């Protein structure tokens, strides 16, 4: 768990970035209707959670910076016995004052009244432009009259790039649970008849280990389904001789894992599958070894494309000179996505890849990113040797940038052909 003092230090860091005579506001998420009178499972706004650790809906965090002095104010839902009977206990104003290291705590109902007071002497407003609550609309009305207003999400997302030891520990835990889930899927794949059965096995492991949320909708794509990158139907039968691309990760205490493994239904790879799988794995291992501080993500992308393109030429999937094929982006037909992305509170962590001047950020110690090369060959692609058609392969690990190099946080999840055939 992350201690309250860490959230307080984050708020103090953010405040230093804010202008004098400014009002800055973060809104929590609100409950969302699924259908009629049923709601989606609540999930806190990531930036609000990063700054508070508070998991209740309908709350507001305010930073008031005047004459060089700052006050941090939290607005929370007040206690309500009737509502709590239906939806569970709330912390309330009194208990929130004890728990959170802020200057003041008020009931959320007081926000608009207090806002009028806070606005006196204010020359700039900052808030998350992606907030769509009724309270955000009120604030936006004020902001339109201001000469200066900005997106508060930007400096917070910049801070989220570098993970603290406590954050890394939560990511490790999420990955440890995901490791168990993927290994379980490998063990039972031959016994399952449908993709959704494997999905159930994976998500059972998540929940029994207190990872109550998936980091994203699990992808369990067998055969040609793997060539749909975000395939989530997971309702097709499993056939011996096919591969299954499993992209599944859990969220543990709001921190994500994101792992992809591609395994054979029968427990054994065919020769054609081995050839493609070996190519993708070698690319993944090479790219991971490149990771260290001061490397650009685009360098990793460029190298992965060069290696995969050369591999496809060697296997006869593409024909011609590698450099000419790269220039014409012919390889993109079979490798259309990026080499990886930031990961943290969000599986695709809401953090920048470029600075405010548009210059690409260099990798730094404390960043966590995925590395996930792949190849996707549709069953109807007659330009490719028949033995490779209908095969989709992706291999993905979660990598921590360290002071001098990297650590593969998901190293323990088996992925060599030998390990996978043995593990099954």
* 239 tagged catalytic: no
Q: What SS3 state is found at 151? A: strand
Query: Distance between CA atoms of 222 and 385, rounded to whole angstroms?
Result: 20
The structure tokens listed for 322 are 């590698």
User: How many other β-carbons are positioned within 10 Å of the β-carbon of residue 17?
Assistant: 14
Which residue in 337, 389, 407, 423 is the catalytic one? 337
Which residue in 372, 397, 398, 424 is the catalytic one? 372
Residue 27 has φ and ψ, to the nearest 5°, of: -105, 140
* 380 tagged catalytic: no
Which residue in 348, 378, 381, 407 is the catalytic one? 348
* 90 tagged catalytic: no
Query: Distance between CA atoms of 257 and 172, rounded to whole angstroms?
Result: 8
Which residue in 128, 157, 195, 247 is the catalytic one? 247
* 182 tagged catalytic: no
Query: Distance between CA atoms of 46 and 122, rounded to whole angstroms?
Result: 27
Which residue in 128, 157, 195, 258 is the catalytic one? 258
Which residue in 57, 128, 396, 424 is the catalytic one? 396
* 394 tagged catalytic: yes
Query: Distance between CA atoms of 199 and 236, rounded to whole angstroms?
Result: 12
Query: Distance between CA atoms of 134 and 123, rounded to whole angstroms?
Result: 23
* 341 tagged catalytic: yes
Strands 124-127, 148-151: pairing kind = parallel
Angle among Cα 54, 55, 61 to the nearest 5 degrees reads 45
* 49 tagged catalytic: no
* 50 tagged catalytic: no
* 372 tagged catalytic: yes
Which residue in 376, 388, 397, 398 is the catalytic one? 376
* 140 tagged catalytic: no
Distances (CA, A) of 10 to 51, 103, 159, 372, 394: 6, 15, 8, 31, 36
Nearest to 319 by CA among 308, 306, 310, 332: 310
Which residue in 10, 11, 172, 394 is the catalytic one? 394
CB within 8 Å of 165: residues ≥ 6 apart: none
Residue 358 has φ and ψ, to the nearest 5°, of: 85, 10
Q: Is residue 29 within 8 Å of 61, Cβ to Cβ?
A: no
DSSP letters along 309-351, please? Answer: HHHHHHHTSS-S-HHHHHHTTGGGGT--S-S--B-SSSSS---
Which residue in 145, 230, 382, 403 is the catalytic one? 230
Stretch (H or E) spanning 66: strand 60-66
Nearest to 60 by CA among 48, 68, 71: 48
* 157 tagged catalytic: no
Residues classed as catalytic:
37, 230, 247, 258, 337, 341, 348, 372, 376, 394, 396
């Amino acid at each position: 768990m992350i201690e309250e003092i860490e959230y307080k230090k984050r708020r103090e860091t953010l405040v230093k970035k804010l202008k004098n005579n400014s009002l800055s506001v973060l809104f929590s998420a609100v409950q969302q209707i699924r259908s009629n009178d049923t709601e989606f499972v609540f999930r806190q706004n990531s930036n609000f959670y990063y700054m508070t650790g508070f998991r209740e809906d309908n709350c507001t965090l305010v930073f008031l910076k005047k004459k060089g002095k700052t006050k941090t104010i939290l607005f929370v839902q007040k206690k309500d016995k009737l509502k709590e009977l239906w939806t569970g206990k709330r912390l309330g104003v009194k208990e929130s004052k004890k728990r959170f290291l802020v200057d003041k705590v008020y009931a959320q109902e007081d926000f608009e009244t207090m806002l009028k007071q806070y606005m006196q002497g204010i020359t700039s407003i900052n808030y998350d432009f992606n907030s769509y609550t009724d309270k955000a609309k009120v604030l936006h009305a004020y902001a339109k009259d201001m000469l200066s207003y900005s997106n508060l999400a930007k400096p917070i997302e910049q801070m989220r790039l570098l993970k603290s030891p406590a954050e890394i520990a939560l990511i490790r835990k999420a990955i440890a649970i995901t490791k168990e889930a993927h290994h379980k899927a490998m063990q039972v794949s031959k016994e399952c008849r449908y993709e959704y059965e494997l999905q159930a096995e994976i998500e059972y492991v998540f929940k029994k280990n207190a990872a109550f949320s998936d980091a994203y909708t699990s992808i369990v794509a067998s055969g040609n389904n793997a060539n749909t990158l975000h395939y989530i139907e997971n309702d097709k039968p499993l056939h011996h001789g096919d591969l299954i691309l499993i992209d599944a990760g859990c969220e543990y205490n709001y921190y994500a894992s994101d792992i992809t493994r591609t395994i054979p239904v029968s427990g054994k790879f065919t020769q054609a599958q081995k050839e493609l799988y070996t190519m993708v794995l070698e690319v993944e291992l090479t790219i991971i070894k490149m990771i260290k501080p001061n490397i650009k993500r685009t360098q990793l992308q460029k190298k992965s494309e060069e290696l995969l393109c050369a591999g496809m030429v060697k296997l006869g999937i593409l024909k011609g000179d590698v450099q000419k094929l790269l220039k014409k982006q012919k390889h993109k037909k079979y490798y259309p996505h990026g080499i990886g992305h930031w990961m943290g509170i969000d599986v695709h962590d809401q953090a920048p890849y470029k600075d405010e001047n548009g210059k690409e950020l260099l990798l730094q110690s404390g960043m966590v990113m995925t590395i996930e090369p792949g190849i996707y060959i549709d069953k109807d692609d007659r330009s490719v040797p028949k033995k490779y058609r209908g095969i989709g392969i992706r291999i993905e690990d979660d990598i921590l940038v360290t002071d001098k190099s990297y650590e593969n946080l998901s190293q323990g999840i088996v992925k060599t052909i030998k390990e996978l055939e043995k593990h099954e």
